[in-house]
């Protein structure tokens, strides 16, 4: 039933304090199929990027000038690097399916609860903000 590939050799992730286990070729986790296709993931990414933020970018550059593009590109580079680190952490352990689980491996169950709470709070607050923003714009478009 168990062979030498069933045991969990530990590998260090990109983060020195984060130790993740990787599973052998015969494990159940290695045979799991992705839940979404590449095309669905691509559409989700495009949907997330092309929102109110993309529409507000010309106004932000007009207010900040051309020099405001420098910090914007720096922030984008930091986000890309962070996304690559998260991808490496998630690829090193097939059981890792969320950011909250990575936080649990690094900081324990209290860290996972806090990460899940913050991530869900952000989603709810963004929805509320977009509803308020859309309502104000509609009120301006259709005055009484």
The model's confidence at residue 138, banded by pLDDT at 50, 70 and 90, is confident
User: Crossing angle for the helix pair 69-91 and 99-107, nearest 10 degrees?
Assistant: 70
Residue 18 main-chain phi, psi, to 5 deg: -110, 115
H or E element in which residue 67 lies? none
Residues 6+ apart with CB under 8 A from 23: 8, 29, 30, 93, 94, 95
Domain ranges of the chain: 1-97, 99-144
pLDDT tens-place string over residues 66-125: 898 899 899 999 999 998 998 888 888 888 887 888 888 889 999 999 998 998 998 899
pLDDT tens-place string over residues 7-52: 344 443 444 444 444 444 555 555 667 678 888 888 877 777 676 6
CB distance 20 to 2 below 8 Å: no
Q: Looking at the chain, how many residues does it have?
A: 144
């Amino acid at each position: 039933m168990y062979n030498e590939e069933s045991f969990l050799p530990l590998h260090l992730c990109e983060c020195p304090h984060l130790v993740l286990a990787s599973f052998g070729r015969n494990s159940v986790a290695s045979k799991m199929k992705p839940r979404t296709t590449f095309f669905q993931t691509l559409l989700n990414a495009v949907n997330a990027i092309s929102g109110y933020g993309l529409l507000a970018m010309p106004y932000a550059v007009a207010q900040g000038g051309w020099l405001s593009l420098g910090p914007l590109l720096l922030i984008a580079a930091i986000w890309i690097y962070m996304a690559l680190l998260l991808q490496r952490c998630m690829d090193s352990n097939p059981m890792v399916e969320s950011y909250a689980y990575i936080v649990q491996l690094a900081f324990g169950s209290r860290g996972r609860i806090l990460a899940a709470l913050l991530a869900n709070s952000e989603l709810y607050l963004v929805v509320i903000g977009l509803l308020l923003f859309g309502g104000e714009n509609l009120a301006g478009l259709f005055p009484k």
